Amino acid sequence: MLFDPDDAIQQSRAEEAVSDLFMNAVTQLRWQTSTLAGCFHAADALRRGRPLAEAAVAEALVEPLASLQTALQEERVPATAFWAHLLPLSADTGGLHELAQRALVKSVGLTETGPRLVRIRERLVAIKNACLAAQPGLGDTTAVTTQPLQQQWAQYGAGLLAQMVCRTEPGFLVEEATVVGLYPLQGGGGAAHLAYNLACIEVVGPAERAALPEVVRLAWLVSMLNLDLPRYSERIHGGRLALVAALAMLPVAVTAAADVRLTPSAQSLADVLPDWVPEAQHRAGQVADWWDAYQRLRPDWGNALKGLDLLLE
């Protein structure tokens, strides 16, 4: 059979397309750990009704967490906004005075921060002290290492993100992000902070019962971080953006894990939701139906997100 130059050109173009896909899917990650973020991540889990794997920590946090919540209410600080800023800021702030100040400024503005600062700072100190007293190992700087997760990311991260781009649209990934490794007080968990291009993830060892490897959870968290761009977020009810982002990217991540053979087949959303988005585990059927419709129709990703948001009303 004679060599056909057109075939060679088409093959070359296909290889270039695949190469471009992988290059465009590379999100540069900056890795760090944070004891302070671990304390407030655990407190926020309790605030949202999520159980902690460490019963002693959960018991120790009940009173100081309730005290902070009361102070926020009495000082007319919107709790949802305060926690949305407190958690990512705690990963990159040295002292609790500065942390309280920055979180309050973000929540109520500079003018209103001064009269509230001392009271809120004292409550943050109490939460940190209670957490470290109940779990002294949390204060050890060597207690958390992201190295195993970094190794998994080096092996699978680019492939996972590339498949996620393939199943959504080019350009939806953030170019750079920070990953904060946390002590596993929940036994595994994480959060994406879209406004800060930051993902927090509890660093756990391989778990036989886990539906998916933790590197898939990390890809899921990182994949949400650009969904606060106007072309996505302006079509979504403001109070539901974080939930819509988490639920939309979940079937994408689950499918991508099967694509790169981290799992033999795509996991059921009903198996993953209770661990990754427990407050929305009753939404598994809705998300599955939305994902099936999206794969058939393939609207642009902004319209797809809008459709999911409407389902959640």
Distance CA 29, CA 303 (A): 28
- Provide the pLDDT for residue 131: 95
Chunk the chain into consecutive blocks of 10 residues (it has 313) and report each block's average pLDDT, rounded to whole numbers: 40 42 70 93 93 93 98 97 96 90 97 96 97 86 84 95 95 95 90 96 74 92 96 91 96 94 83 90 93 95 96 89
- Provide the pLDDT for residue 174: 95
Sign, CA torsion 171/172/178/184:
negative
Contact residues for 179 (Cβ-Cβ < 8 A; gap 6+): 29, 30, 31, 32, 146, 198, 199, 200, 201, 218, 222
- Provide the pLDDT for residue 141: 66
